[in-house]
Structure 1
């Protein structure tokens, strides 16, 4: 049976549909440039930092998010439709917009990563969930403090239990290999959860010794993650502040201001058809998806993502790069559809579901990398290394669950055709 996907570039096609020309692209770029300038004004009026942490207002957070969103859309559209635009101008501003969007995203990424890891520690250790407000920095309560308070009533591991003995023998403090060893021990409990479902907080009786041992080190693991990710967030905040006050950013803002009124289309581009360029972006996405191991991803937990995670090598996970590339190509394809059909076009549920699954994949893989980085900290206690190993295994299994969810979403609307 041969298979083909829906042609997503023809969503607005119909007997009464008007032909799409370069003017549609120009209108889309002008609209996104206007959104960029509006978000910049609102952000300055809110008085917050790059991600709103400086002023602590919701308006600053929303404005920073809108700033990043419009910068991504302008940059992506310039990449997809570059044959229709002045090459010198587009190649000059496109990497600058990518730099701005990436710089502003780091602080928010550190904050959400810390929250994700601390919530996972609570779930894995079986402690009562910390209230949402305790995970923030308001009221003088840090996430690590809230974690320690919530875990205080938990009993310690009984002396002489097998998991504690095995852990002490396998993971001596101060060794880089201890994180890999405890990660292998941690893989078994994590495989019990179903892909894409809300984890069951009930703890089987046979897992009680491991759960107790995890609770012992979870508070210290949370404190270690809090220190490392808060430091990274503070540095990202300072970097973003410097970026927003730099001459480089002002040059980008000036170019976007010009774009809001005048799009540098080539003379032949006004009446040209941009659909073939959007179709080429869709084809690149289809080729990248075809190269993914979707058959393997069809099994919710095949543990392939965990095998390479046991290595003490701090390099990025080798299996994640193709999935991150698909996420980027999917975003470019979605922006191309927005440019062609505008905001009035019906949303493509398939693209939205696949995009959410790839966002989950990115978040889980980066969280697992943060847990592995913390586990390589010298001279940490065996119980702390064990907790970080369990956390790393849990997030790598979340990676597998996200791949499974993407495979289901992508193939939901596949059309089967007869044999040729």
Structure 2
């Protein structure tokens, strides 16, 4: 936690004074600061969650909601930018037109590199005909307007948050954490392995509770049909998978504490990457469905958005297949 608090303060220094880098430090882009702040806040929060029994109760209860607020606020702009990139590239792929994805308006929203395709990644074939090509262009314009507006609002919200008294209070607490972790009496000599083991058990239980999987290949038609529900709320099948993704991350953080900061797990990160793709595809599908409900859009636009929604739900099923495949190979391995 002290190491992550130091990373938090380093990112905060970069954000406030981007030119103040030491002679022995490589120049850094100030646009990276919000993402670095979010990453450090998330790791502190995750470690706090697992090792709560050995930490000061009052301090922990104050920090947990504040770290969650900060991490969530700083994540929105990047998420909107990545979602727009994913949807536009999928539209171009489905319609067979060259990809012309606009750059984000704000440097902090730069897109991450595309995730490597897993062994089970598959997509729906592009339906032929000029209808999808025409509709795809209009659908792309609609998605660009919607998500660019959302990204701009998220950027403004993040700037307001970073200038607020609430954020300064969080930063002050993290600064104290960098020098001393507030432990309960006697916690300095406590064995942390049982707490890390409990995190692993919670993950294993959540994986075991996932809906039964009957598909023998990435394209699981029955599950895909259920995933095409017209209900505008997030699909109920997705929630337990998102929970597994969270618990997998908490398990990795817990392992780092007992094995040494930065110590990798015994296996690869394929399961974690599959769940990241699952989250991205599920949220992209929901965005396509919401855009299709825009009043008075052309039928060709609605059709293209429907095809896009089905394509992303197919990606959801492919990611689930990839996760289960890796989990069978490396069950419970910290990643």
Rate the CA distance shift 1:199–1:398 in 2: closer, same or farther, 3 A.
closer
Matches within 5 A, 1:262-341: 262-293=180-211, 295-296=213-214, 298-341=216-259
Match of 2:79 in 1: 109
How far apart, in 2, do the equivalents of 1:115 and 1:280 lie? 38
The offset of 1:128, in angstroms, is 2.1
Matches within 5 A, 1:378-397: 378-397=295-314
Write the deviation string for residues 368-412 of structure 1: whole angstroms up to 9, x where unpaired. 000000000011101000000000000000000000010011111
The offset of 1:312, in angstroms, is 2.9
How many pairs are equivalent? 314
The offset of 1:262, in angstroms, is 1.2
Contact 1:43 1:64 survives alignment (8 Å): yes
Match of 1:259 in 2: 177
How far apart, in 1, do the equivalents of 2:306 and 2:75 lie? 27
Match of 2:260 in 1: 342
Structure 1, unmatched stretches of 5+, are 1-28, 48-56, 139-192, 416-420
Rate the CA distance shift 1:267–1:305 in 2: closer, same or farther, 3 A.
same
Matches within 5 A, 1:159-198: 196-197=120-121
TM-score (norm 2): 0.88
The offset of 1:310, in angstroms, is 3.7
Structure 2, unmatched stretches of 5+, are 20-26, 106-116
Quick one: which of 90, 102, 125 aligns to 1:135?
102
The offset of 1:308, in angstroms, is 3.5
Matching of residue 208 in structure 1 with residue 128 in structure 2? yes
Rate the CA distance shift 1:96–1:398 in 2: closer, same or farther, 3 A.
same
Write the deviation string for residues 111-158 of structure 1: whole angstroms up to 9, x where unpaired. 00000000000000011233xxx52047xxxxxxxxxxxxxxxxxxxx
Match of 1:219 in 2: 137
- Counterpart of 1:284 in 2: which secondary structure? helix
Quick one: which of 32, 36, 52 aligns to 1:66?
36
Contact 2:2 2:177 survives alignment (8 Å): yes
Match of 2:325 in 1: 408
How far apart, in 1, do the equivalents of 2:318 and 2:241 lie? 13
How far apart, in 2, do the equivalents of 1:121 and 1:265 lie? 52
Larger RCO (alpha carbons 8 Å, 6+ apart): 1
Rate the CA distance shift 1:414–1:106 in 2: closer, same or farther, 3 A.
closer
Write the deviation string for residues 341-360 of structure 1: whole angstroms up to 9, x where unpaired. 1235344434x211100000
Match of 1:365 in 2: 282
Matching of residue 353 in structure 1 with residue 270 in structure 2? yes
The offset of 1:67, in angstroms, is 1.1
The offset of 1:316, in angstroms, is 1.0
Match of 2:6 in 1: 34
Quick one: which of 236, 245, 251 aligns to 2:154?
236
The offset of 1:227, in angstroms, is 0.7
CA RMSD in angstroms comes to 2.3
- Counterpart of 2:41 in 1: which secondary structure? helix
**Structure whose CA Rg is larger:** 1
How far apart, in 2, do the equivalents of 1:70 and 1:298 lie? 39
How far apart, in 2, do the equivalents of 1:233 and 1:336 lie? 33
How far apart, in 1, do the equivalents of 2:308 and 2:85 lie? 13
Contact 2:88 2:99 survives alignment (8 Å): no
